[in-house]
Every structure is written in C-alpha cells, then in structure tokens.
Amino acid sequence: MGMNKNTVLAWATWIMIFVGIGMIALGAFKYDEVAGYGFGAVGIGFFAVAWVFNALKGRV
C-alpha cells in the first residue's frame, strides 16, 4: 500500500483532531486553574491546523 500526499494529509488531519480533543479534555477535566485555559487554547489551535490539512487535500 503506497501512501500518496492526500493519504498523508488525511492521517495527519485525524491525528491532529485526536490530539486536539485530548488537549481540550485535559484543560476541561484535569486542570482547574489558568493552565486549563492554555490547554483549551492549544486544543483549538490543533483543530485549526487539522482544518488546514483537510483543506489542502487534493490541492498539493
């Protein structure tokens, strides 16, 4: 099975979504102080990068 550029971007998108969910969950459930806001912001950033990767599929 060969992986072309679109397959790599699809895998990267899914990995970024799962990491983003994990970061938001850490911020929501583990850290109750200011660090929770940081984890949540980083999780949203992961979602933004995953969105860009998804938009690049078929164009690269």
Domain range enclosing 10: 3-54
Asked whether the predicted pLDDT for residue 56 surpasses 90, the reply is no
How do residues 12-52 score in pLDDT, each as one tens digit?
Answer: 999 999 999 999 999 999 988 898 999 999 999 999 999 99
Start-to-end CA distance of the chain, whole Å, equals 20
Residue 59 lies in a domain: no
Residue 43 lies in a domain: yes
Conformational region of residue 31, where left means phi above 0, alpha means psi within -120 to 50, and beta covers everything else: beta
Question: Sign of the CA dihedral 31, 32, 37, 40?
Answer: positive
Domain count along the chain: 1
Residue 12 lies in a domain: yes
Q: Is residue 59 very low, low, confident or very high in pLDDT (cuts 50, 70, 90)?
A: confident
User: Using an 8 Å Cβ cutoff, are 47 and 23 in contact?
Assistant: no
Residue 60 lies in a domain: no
Q: Is residue 57 very low, low, confident or very high in pLDDT (cuts 50, 70, 90)?
A: confident
User: Using an 8 Å Cβ cutoff, are 2 and 12 in contact?
Assistant: no
Question: pTM for this structure?
Answer: 0.84
pLDDT value at residue 18: 97
